[in-house]
């Protein structure tokens, strides 16, 4: 079995574990190798492996037991995200459908996060805002894109609802590609993006659901408007 290409990162680790279950190499109740050994097998860092295991724990696909290890949970394997064909900014229909899906998933996740976010969730979201501002000031677009996605994922986690987290995980890879491409062809989105993220964070911290939801909807509408304008300007 070959190692996982590093560029696929945690999503590829998730897919590899799912593949091993589907082929019978892993089954319900099986214990995964320790993290040092497993990361070496997959050809990824322990940081990448821990991120993948954290995601699988959140959606209930595995159970991490302190002092024992990581165990596959059969009852929740139906939650594992299927591979989707990624939309590109160059595919208007697919991209606009992704934006539409984001509007429903992320607004619902944010509503739950307003009620359920922990102090740690809010602290991490605040840290991400600061890092996003630094990346934008230094014109580190790739890093900003990664932080942007991390911010939205943390909101999904702050919902503390594993099915909502699963819904976000399903489209996370598509969002990563979209965000990277959108900031490349529509650089004006960057500054507005940070403003919307700050608005969302401050409303979430204040537990102001209506303001938080309005901020998220405004953020996604802004992206959609920019996309439609971009498509209209193309030959």
Q: What CATH number belongs to 6-79? A: 1.10.10.10
Q: Does residue 220 register a pLDDT over 80?
A: yes
Write out the two tokens for 161: 């609802």
Give the percent of the chain with pLDDT over 90: 44
Q: What is the pLDDT of residue 76?
A: 46
Tell me the pLDDT tens digit for each residue of 47-66. Answer: 889 888 887 776 667 888 88
Q: What is the pLDDT of residue 87?
A: 62
Q: Does residue 176 register a pLDDT over 60?
A: yes
Nearest in space to 114 (alpha carbons), one of 213, 43, 23, 19: 213
Distance (Å, whole) CA 222 – CA 42:
39
Going from N- to C-terminal start, the domains of the chain cover 6-79, 92-233
What global pTM score does this model have? 0.67
Q: What CATH number belongs to 92-233? A: 1.20.120.530
Burial class of residue 53, CB neighbours in 10 A (0-12, 13-18, 19+): buried
């Amino acid at each position: 079995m070959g190692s996982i290409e590093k560029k696929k990162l945690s999503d590829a680790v998730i897919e590899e574990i799912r593949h091993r279950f589907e082929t019978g190499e892993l089954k319900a109740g099986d214990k995964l190798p320790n993290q040092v050994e497993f990361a070496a097998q997959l050809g990824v860092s322990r940081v990448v492996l821990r991120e993948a295991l954290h995601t699988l724990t959140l959606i209930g696909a595995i159970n991490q037991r302190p002092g024992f290890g990581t165990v596959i949970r059969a009852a929740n394997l139906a939650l594992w995200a299927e591979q989707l064909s990624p939309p590109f900014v160059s595919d208007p229909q697919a991209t606009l459908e992704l934006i539409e899906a984001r509007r429903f998933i992320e607004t619902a996740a944010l509503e739950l996060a307003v009620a359920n976010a922990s102090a740690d969730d809010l602290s991490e979201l605040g840290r991400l805002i600061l890092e996003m501002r630094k990346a934008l000031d230094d014109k580190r677009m790739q890093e900003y894109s990664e932080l942007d996605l991390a911010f939205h994922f943390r909101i999904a986690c702050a919902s503390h609802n594993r099915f909502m987290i699963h819904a976000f995980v399903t489209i996370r890879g598509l969002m990563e590609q979209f965000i990277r491409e959108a900031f490349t062809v529509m650089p004006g989105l960057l500054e507005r993006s940070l403003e919307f993220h700050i608005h969302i964070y401050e409303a979430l911290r204040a537990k102001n659901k209506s303001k938080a939801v309005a901020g998220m909807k405004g953020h996604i509408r802004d992206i959609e408007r920019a996309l439609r304008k971009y498509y209209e300007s193309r030959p």
